[in-house]
Structure 1
Amino acid sequence: MHTERVTIEGVTFLTTLHLGGPIGLLALHGAVEGGTAELAREVATRTGATLLTFTQPTGPPRHIPSIRMSPCTPLTAFLTHATLAISLHGHNRRSAPRTIYVGGSNRPAARVLATALTGSPFTPITTLSDIPHPLRGLHPDNPVNRTRDGGVQLELPVQARTTHPVPTDPEVPPGEVVEGIAAGVRRLLEGQGAPG
């Protein structure tokens, strides 16, 4: 596990990188989308996946859109090592408090993860036209799409990211979601990354 401070658009991030298996778990907004870094860490620990998280150790949390996350050294190492990325994000759509939007460029892998999450208390949505445009994760500059086989962007409501209704440190992701994503990662590994 390697930690490094990087600065992007004047914001200091603490990155944590572990190079593991060919599938990579990515949490670009660990400080502002509570529970995503912890969820990525739990899934990576259970599956041996590669892991990269970004948190903000000081100052008020600031959200920098994924497509503007610079190719810093840890992110470049992640994108070079992993063949398929799974990027964890948080959404706060009040009309969809139990919905997990499953976007990203690798649609076969998206369906594998959605199937693995159907046993959780949340409803995964994979049809792109049913996913709000800002949450689809299809932009080519989005890091989730820059690995060899592209990736899957999971947009998770608050209750799918943390078991606490208010921000706490550390966040504790719900077991059903951890198990669902981990099961999906294992299936993708069995299929050698489900190339898109």
Structure 2
Amino acid sequence: MPVPQDTTTERLRLDGTEFVLRLTSRDSRLGLLALHGGVEGGTAELAEEVAARTGATCLIFSQPSPPRTHISSHLLAETPSRTLETFLSAVSLTISLHGHLRPATPDAIFLGGTNREAARTLAAALRALTPSFTPVTDLTEIPSGLRGLHPRNPVNLTREGGVQIELPLTARTQGLRDVPPEDVVAGVTEGVRRLGA
């Protein structure tokens, strides 16, 4: 039976960059977030697919026009947005999907954010279902810029905080397509389901 949902959109501008926010609201304490849709290929697509499979709420930031610019997550939270406020008040735990291009760790999936228990739950599901990637939860092993610990980062602004998942390119795209591999979709989906249990 389909989960009832409501979709709203909002446009906003930050430092000359236009964003379109699309919020798909469902009755869930869990929220999927992709702040760099189109900039970090496959993250928006992964968030939408996992949210659809689990019944989680989903918020996607996208940039409709090139050139597309990577703007730090905490700066996006400082821009007044009724859509982001709605998301943050509606869910209590956020899973924020990002992409990294670290050549030294091409198979590492880094799980940062302030909710360390949730990070370990997601890592266990990824470890079981995505054997070609290595989930990393030890913050000392995660590059400082990928830890997702800034207090104004949207992933940390919900009541239970959240998990920032940094995915290498091959975990979020296939060839030239922004389509995440099925094993990664399955791993994140299973982790979100465990968090919702």
TM-score (ref. length: structure 2):
0.92
Match of 2:20 in 1: 14
Deviation track 1:83-117 (CA, whole Å, cap 9, x = no partner) reads: 00000000000111111000000000000000000
Deviations 1:91-147 (A, max 9, x none): 000111111000000000000000000020210000000000000001111000000
Match of 1:28 in 2: 35
- Provide the rounded CA distance (Å) in 2 between the counterparts of 1:3 and 1:38: 17
Aligned counterpart, 1:79: 88
Aligned partners of 2:134, 2:37: CA distance in 1, in Å? Answer: 23
Q: Identity of counterpart residues, as a percentage? A: 55
Tell me by how many angstroms 1:19 deviates.
Answer: 1.2
Query: What displacement does 1:73 show?
Result: 1.3
Q: Which deviates more from structure 2 when the two are superposed, residues 58-67 or residues 1-10?
A: 1-10
Deviations 1:10-54 (A, max 9, x none): 211111101121100000001210000000000000000010001
Match of 2:70 among 63, 66, 75: 63
Distance 1:71 1:112 in 2: 32
Aligned residue number for residue 180 of structure 2: 173
The Cα of 1:172 is off from its aligned counterpart by: 1.1
> What does residue 136 of structure 1 align with?
147
How far apart, CA to CA, are the structure 1 residues paired with 2:46 and 2:154? 18
Q: Match for residue 193 of structure 1?
A: none
Give secondary structure in 2 for the equivalent of 1:29: strand
Q: Are 1:94 and 2:103 an aligned pair?
A: yes
Q: Secondary structure at the match of 1:43?
A: helix
After TM superposition, give the deviation of residue 183 of structure 1 in Å: 0.4
1:109 maps to 2:115: no
Q: How many residues align?
A: 186
Q: Which residue of 2 aligns with 1:159?
A: 170
The list of structure 1 runs, each at least 4 consecutive aligned residues, that deviate by more than 6 angstroms after superposition, is: none
- Structure 1 runs not aligned, ≥5 long: 191-196
Matching residue of 2:56? 49
Residue 5 of structure 1: CA displacement?
A: 1.4
**113-122 or 5-14: bigger deviation:** 5-14
